[in-house]
Structure 1
């Protein structure tokens, strides 16, 4: 309060889930102590992007049934994790304007996103040029060790979020991080040569980048990414079989 003038009261945060996230996104209040983009972070991010893109392109092009797929994807997760934590602090985040971590809200977001993709899969199943590359990727689960593929998928999802919505987001915090991290994530995924995977990466990247802004950390994006990945891993093949059969 200043002399002769009453400062306006701060706008109260909404109480509904969507309202709280909308308010957090609009105000950016959850980013109360943003990590500055230090030179070290920028250098580590660039190096990790180059190495990670190369490893991703190699790992996702390995034929189904080849046991090299497992160490390759494990190496990919290690690259993202090492790059994330070597770049500097990675924030966990919290539920906007509520105590606790953003677990349930992220599960709900992942479920909604997965439903949209499942509906889209019914359409894709009718278009052979689009369906075949996705089926080839899913074949790693059907002809290989499903439990191991699921584990590696979950670990890679968490590692990608630590790096892209952690390190990269912080490194680009002054230049539209939601847009930049989404485009970078899509570009990295494009190295695998699967067009629909790029579309999925752009959509997922946008959702998790918004979560990063609304929660101030990577836990929400990690939960969303992992839950979404598990649904896709176990649901897409049956959907393709039913829709194309």
Structure 2
């Protein structure tokens, strides 16, 4: 395929998946918006503390799985109690409509590629490499496939809450950046700076999808693609031959 054609295809894809929102009308009463904000605020505080405690569990300890699933339960209950959530609907490059799942997978793969390339740099910096390895120890010393299942459950829960409830609770002028900053802030108790940086990057991507589609399905697809890719592919880069 000629290079100009490839460029046009990529531009059309990015425009459809991240730029052009689908027209929709969803009105919330001031009372329902206020209720959603209260639920979001309480859930955010409880969930952030619970996440910090879960990540502090010693690698290999079965308590880690229960603690992490507990965090997922907090995000999910908070999202569902806050008010209505929507799957969303996006554009395709040819002007049709889709749920945005394939777009989400492709965007997740793109973000994963960027992070894996960045990991080659992180691998040379012990100050950054150490905390990330500590986080990955849960997969190295526990059951990788159980950690993968927990990762899927937690990823879905995070998107339901942050791109569902939190996004909907904020003013439309800053709900994208606001939901991203709150998502990143929820990881601060983890003590892993690169996890917070990752939350910022993933949050910006999925918030753009949320803006376009009006729902959580596309963001969930991106989140799971990125997080599972990092779980399986990042350790070999940071621990070559180990």
- Answer whether TM exceeds 0.5 for this pair: yes
Which deviates the most, 167-176 or 53-62? 167-176
Which deviates the most, 15-24 or 173-182? 15-24
**81, 92, 110: which is aligned to 1:86?**
81
Partner Cα separation in structure 2 for residue 22 and residue 70 of structure 1: 34
Counterpart of 2:5 in structure 1 is: none
Partner Cα separation in structure 1 for residue 209 and residue 35 of structure 2: 25
Q: Give the conservation status (yes or no) of the 8 Å contact 1:34–1:170.
A: no
Say whether residues 1:64 and 2:59 are aligned partners.
yes
Partner Cα separation in structure 2 for residue 213 and residue 35 of structure 1: 15
Q: CA deviation at 1:22?
A: 5.3
Partner Cα separation in structure 2 for residue 20 and residue 147 of structure 1: 34
Computing the radius of gyration from Cα coordinates, the structure with the larger value is 1
Q: Deviations over 1:19-54 (max 9, x none)?
A: 324551xxx4x2512353612101110110011011
**13, 18, 25: which is aligned to 1:17?**
13
Aligned residues: 226
Q: Give the conservation status (yes or no) of the 8 Å contact 1:107–1:224.
A: yes
Q: Give the conservation status (yes or no) of the 8 Å contact 1:181–1:205.
A: yes
Counterpart of 1:154 in structure 2 is: 152
Counterpart of 2:7 in structure 1 is: none
Q: CA deviation at 1:198?
A: 0.5
Partner Cα separation in structure 2 for residue 136 and residue 233 of structure 1: 13
**35, 40, 61: which is aligned to 2:35?**
40
Change (3 A) 1:18 1:175: closer
Tell me the secondary structure at the aligned position of residue 217 of structure 1: coil
- With the length of structure 2 as denominator, give the TM-score of the two structures: 0.89
Q: Give the conservation status (yes or no) of the 8 Å contact 1:88–1:167.
A: yes
* Structure having the larger proportion of residues in helix: 2
Partner Cα separation in structure 2 for residue 51 and residue 175 of structure 1: 26
Gaps of 5+ in 2: 1-10
Gaps of 5+ in 1: 1-14
Partner Cα separation in structure 1 for residue 128 and residue 232 of structure 2: 19
Say whether residues 1:226 and 2:224 are aligned partners.
yes
* RMSD, aligned CA: 1.7
Partner Cα separation in structure 2 for residue 136 and residue 35 of structure 1: 45
Q: Give the conservation status (yes or no) of the 8 Å contact 1:31–1:216.
A: no
